Copies of this chain bind each other. A is one copy, B any other.
């Protein structure tokens, strides 16, 4: 296991992600962080987001728009992603039946917090169509 050293850039990326609730992409985050670190590079943002998600400190997910989105929430919750407008809503964890069932079910495994995604169409978009 590699030893991490402190880095102001990484710290800033974590803080920035913690403060936002909009599940930003790497590029959106990059634009924000540039206000504090005008010289930070996009590569550094990507490198740290990858590192943090491998450490399990953040979650990454695709919402079908071609780029990855990131999330820092620490309480267990799931996501609802509207395929029409791209909006991302947080969902209560209780919507899924006891996940320990998964351990004994035939497709086996442990489900990580933050990593359950529902894709569909949100009410707002449904109403626009009718």
Name A residues whose Cβ lies closer than 8 Å to a Cβ of B. 60-62, 64, 80, 82-83, 89-92, 94-97, 101-103, 105, 107-112, 115-124, 126
A119 and B119 contacting across the interface, CB-CB below 8 Å:
no
**A112 is contacted by which of B102, B110, B120 (Cβ under 8 Å)?**
B120
Known contacts A64-B60, A80-B102; is-contact A116 B115 (Cβ 8 Å): no
A123 and B108 contacting across the interface, CB-CB below 8 Å:
yes
Q: Classify the interface of chain A: helix, strand, loop or mixed.
A: strand
Question: A122 to B102, alpha carbons, bound, how many Å?
Answer: 10
A124 → chain B closest CB, angstroms: 8
A89 and B107 contacting across the interface, CB-CB below 8 Å:
yes
